[in-house]
Amino acid sequence: MSRFPRRFIDDSSMEDAGISLCPSIHYRPINPNDLDRLEQIHRDIFPIKYESEFFQSVVNGVDIVSWAAVDRSRPDDHSDELIGFVTAKFVLAKDSEIDDLIHYDSSKGEETLIYILTLGVVETYRNRGIAMSLISEVIKYASGLSVCRGVYLHVIAHNNAAICLYKRLMFRCVRRLHGFYLINRHHFDAFLFVYFINGSRTPCSPLEVAMFVVNYMKSGIKSVASKLANKDEKGLKWLFCKDTDCVLPSQTKPKLGSSSAYEFI
């Protein structure tokens, strides 16, 4: 069991999926002077509590790497104050939950991954591309480490804005984990996203294989439906299923409202 809490991100900060619109925003490592502000922002935007040990590890760089976003255009006493942050830790690739997806290079010795723990932006600075820039800082850092094979993270399944952001950043959704988060005594599913670097990308993830099969079947069904419609066969009614964009015969009505592991892929 990791001594750090499961990763969480601020849902609303993920709306800023564009390029940074404010040239005065700068990015730097988090340091001990950021402790109080870092704790405050975590309390304000996250639904779970983080222990003091976590914050001490972040500001002192103990097993954690981090980046802060600050606005240099603010008055002097606030020009270096946190307005956003991302925290992450190193994980041995062989001990990670995606070890089966990594293409190993035996010549590089002990290979690692970077796992993103928390990501957030204060409300007044959202929709300026800061979240995207923070994630980009992590990717740039990881790409410069020859032994690092990728960056990965979890995102709660209903956080559509964050999912869109990671897709734009070329992360790959490789798994859906049922009941991963426990918040206020309720379980929530999570998606596992990976950004492969330094030649670690596998030919195809299990989820991508499943998506290929689903799309292939959808194409087949559409082809059959088209042929039958052209023949104007009588006595067979067809339904249009909004969930799958496919045509189905009326005697095999789909179960609408069921969740799909592929809806955000």
pLDDT in tens, 118-138: 999 999 999 899 999 999 999
Task: Give yes or no for a contact between 25 and 71, defined as CB atoms under 8 angstroms apart.
Answer: yes
pLDDT at 198: 82
Task: Give yes or no for a contact between 37 and 49, defined as CB atoms under 8 angstroms apart.
Answer: no
- Tell me, yes or no, whether 218 lies in a domain: no
- Tell me, yes or no, whether 247 lies in a domain: no
pLDDT at 4: 52
DSSP H helices in the chain:
35-45, 52-60, 130-143, 160-168, 206-230
- Single pTM value for the model: 0.70
pLDDT at 49: 87
As a whole number of angstroms, the distance between CA 8 and CA 118 comes to: 5
Task: Give yes or no for a contact between 74 and 124, defined as CB atoms under 8 angstroms apart.
Answer: no
- Tell me, yes or no, whether 46 lies in a domain: yes
Domain that holds residue 162: 25-210
* 9: nearest Cα among 118, 153, 157: 118
For the chain, 265 residues long, give each residue's pLDDT as a single digit of tens: 445 555 555 545 554 444 445 679 999 999 999 999 999 999 999 888 899 999 999 999 999 999 999 999 998 889 999 999 999 999 999 899 998 998 877 666 789 999 999 999 999 999 899 999 999 999 999 999 999 999 999 999 999 999 999 999 999 999 999 999 998 899 999 999 999 998 766 545 555 555 545 555 655 565 555 555 554 444 433 333 333 333 333 233 333 333 333 223 2
Domain count, the chain: 1
The CATH number assigned to the domain holding 81 equals 3.40.630.30
- Tell me, yes or no, whether 200 lies in a domain: yes
pLDDT at 219: 55
- Tell me, yes or no, whether 256 lies in a domain: no
Ranges assigned E (strand) in the chain: 8-9, 25-28, 64-71, 82-92, 112-121, 148-156, 172-183, 186-196, 238-241, 246-249
pLDDT at 218: 57
Which phi and psi angles does 84 have, rounded to 5°? -165, 165
- Tell me, yes or no, whether 105 lies in a domain: yes
- Tell me, yes or no, whether 249 lies in a domain: no
- Tell me, yes or no, whether 203 lies in a domain: yes
